[in-house]
Structures are given as C-alpha cells and as structure tokens.
C-alpha cells in the first residue's frame, strides 16, 4: 500500500514538474520573441545601421521607423530619429527629412545632439545643386526661389547662436555667409528684372529690401545703384540723391559711383 502511494506521488510530482517546465519554456519563448525587448531593438538597430552603411536606405527607413516608435523617449529612439532624417535626405525625401528633424528639435530641446539636428536641418535645406533643369538653362543659384535657403539660414544661425562651441559651428558660419550673399543676390536679381521692365517702384522697393536686410553683402553696391536709378525715373530726386550719396560714400571706387555723363551703365541696363 505504501509503495503504491509512493508511486502515485511520483507520477503526480512528475506531471507537475513537466507542466512547470513547459510553462517556463513557454515564458522563455515569449520573451525571446518580444519585439520590444532590448535585445530585439538592438538587433533591429544594428540591421538598420548596416543598411544605412550599405546604401539600402529604403530598408533602413522601415527599420528606423519601427525603432522610433518602440523606443520613444530613449537614447536609442533619439538616435533612430536622427538616422531616419538622414535616410530620408539620402533618398531625396526633403519634406520628410525636415519634418523628422523638426519633431526631434521639438521633443528633445535639451538633447546633446540638438546641435547636430539643427546642422542637419540646415544641410537638408542648403542645396547648391541647381538640378537638371537649372543646369540646362545655365541658371544662377541666386535666380531660384530662396525659401529653402532662408530656412537653412535660420537653422544655421540658431546653431551658431546656441552652440558656438559646437564642432558644426565653423561650417555653419561659412554657409551662413554664402547663403546671405546668395539671398542678397536674389533680391538684386529681382530688382534688376523689375527695372528692365520699367517697373521702377517695384525695382526700388526690392533693392531697398536688399540693402536693409543684407547690409554687408557684396551685392549691396548694385542695389544702391538700382535704387538711385529707379528713383530718378520716378522723379523722386531727393531719394535718388540719398541713394547715390550712400553709394558714393560706401563704394567710392564703384563702377556705379556717380560720375555724371561719364558714368558707365551696367551691362544689364538696356537704356
């Protein structure tokens, strides 16, 4: 009788142990397959980085989007957002890249990588390549729409002001100078366009805008000249004389400086 009870107890114990082992095995399997586990995220991010390095940007984007959602609020999540912006940029998805960087800047104002995010936003907007149609038309960079350049300028300026010691500050400063000169050239290009079409009010206003906003740009010399000539055509002698006086004072050796009848007309002036 005792032996039979002992055997029965062993059977029960064996059943319990087997059930427990199966339960533990099931738990281990579940943890291993959890897509939100740190191990799974590490693996997914490593694969995304490999795809970025190999130029497989579309595949990297899919992985980084998953990581960004699953690791929100973590350092990995922040890095995934920045890598995602870079991948969008490399695939010419400028709007997506900017939106991603804006989201990072808004959600992580104290991040150590904020200077990089601002730098990247400037770079995405800063595009010296005129594109196929621009090259075919021999279009000057100053003749294009300048909205992207203005957005790049704001990003670079914020970077330099907030993080003057950043390793990106020097390059940002160089680009600020280039963009400033380009924007001034664009305003002068438009002023010249209006002047040649006898729209003297518009020409004067555009030239004045360039002088007010970009005082130290090289093109201001021509802007002052256009202002003076436009005011002269409008019969506004006082404003004409003021513009010419400022031109002569700041650019005494200018080809546009006052010289009466001997002053040479610029190449673009047709009359």
DSSP class per residue in 90-140: HTT-HHHHHHHHHHHHHH-TT-TTHHHHHHHHHHHH-----HHHHHHTT--
| 40 touches 34 (CB < 8 A) | yes
| 100 touches 78 (CB < 8 A) | no
The Cα angle at residue 136 between residues 134 and 138, in degrees rounded to 5: 65
Spatial separation of the C-alpha atoms in residues 152 and 150, rounded to whole Å? 5
Residue corresponding to tokens 């808004």? 106
Spatial separation of the C-alpha atoms in residues 99 and 114, rounded to whole Å? 15
In degrees and rounded to multiples of 5, residue 203 shows phi and psi of -65, -45
Spatial separation of the C-alpha atoms in residues 221 and 103, rounded to whole Å? 41
The pTM of the full predicted model, rounded to 2 decimals, is 0.73
Spatial separation of the C-alpha atoms in residues 62 and 58, rounded to whole Å? 7
- Residue 56: the pLDDT is 94
Residue corresponding to tokens 């009788």? 1
Buried b (16+ CB within 10 A) or exposed e, 244-264: beebbeebeebebbeeeeeee
Spatial separation of the C-alpha atoms in residues 186 and 206, rounded to whole Å? 10
Q: Would you call 229 helix, strand, or coil by DSSP?
A: helix
What CA–CA distances, in Å, run from 62 to 96, 97, 168, 230, 268?
Answer: 13, 14, 28, 56, 52
Spatial separation of the C-alpha atoms in residues 259 and 247, rounded to whole Å? 12
Each of the 271 residues of the chain gets a pLDDT tens digit; together they read 544 543 444 444 444 444 444 454 445 444 455 767 888 888 989 999 999 999 999 999 999 999 988 888 899 999 999 999 999 999 999 999 999 999 999 999 999 999 999 999 999 998 654 443 344 455 555 556 678 889 999 999 999 999 999 999 999 999 999 999 989 988 999 999 999 999 999 999 999 999 999 988 888 999 999 999 999 999 999 999 999 999 999 988 888 876 433 344 554 444 4
| 85 touches 120 (CB < 8 A) | yes
| 97 touches 89 (CB < 8 A) | yes
- Residue 78: the pLDDT is 94
Nearest to 87 by CA among 74, 69, 70, 68: 68
- Residue 106: the pLDDT is 95
């Amino acid at each position: 009788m005792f032996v039979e009870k002992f055997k029965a107890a062993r059977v029960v114990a064996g059943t319990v142990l087997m059930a427990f082992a199966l339960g533990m095995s099931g738990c281990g399997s579940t943890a291993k397959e959890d897509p939100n586990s740190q191990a799974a995220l590490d693996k997914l991010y490593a694969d995304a980085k490999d795809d970025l390095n190999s130029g497989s940007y579309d595949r990297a984007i899919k992985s980084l989007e998953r990581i960004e959602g699953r690791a929100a609020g973590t350092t990995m999540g922040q890095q995934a957002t920045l890598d995602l912006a870079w991948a969008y940029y490399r695939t010419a998805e400028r709007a997506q890249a900017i939106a991603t960087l804006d989201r990072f800047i808004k959600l992580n104002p104290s991040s150590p990588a904020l200077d990089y995010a601002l730098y990247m936003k400037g770079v995405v907007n800063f595009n010296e390549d005129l594109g196929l149609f621009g090259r075919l038309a021999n279009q000057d960079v100053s003749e294009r729409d300048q909205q992207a350049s203005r957005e790049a300028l704001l990003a670079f300026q914020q970077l330099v002001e907030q993080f003057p010691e950043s390793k990106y500050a020097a390059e940002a400063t160089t680009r600020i100078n280039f963009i400033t000169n380009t924007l001034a050239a664009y305003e002068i290009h438009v002023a010249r366009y209006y002047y040649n079409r006898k729209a003297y009010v518009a020409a004067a206003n555009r030239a004045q805008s360039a002088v007010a906003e970009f005082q130290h740009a090289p093109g201001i010399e021509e802007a002052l000249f256009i202002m003076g000539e436009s005011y002269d055509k409008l019969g506004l002698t006082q404003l004409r004389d003021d513009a010419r006086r400022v031109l002569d004072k700041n650019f005494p050796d200018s080809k546009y400086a006052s010289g009466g009848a001997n002053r040479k007309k610029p190449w673009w002036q047709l009359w």
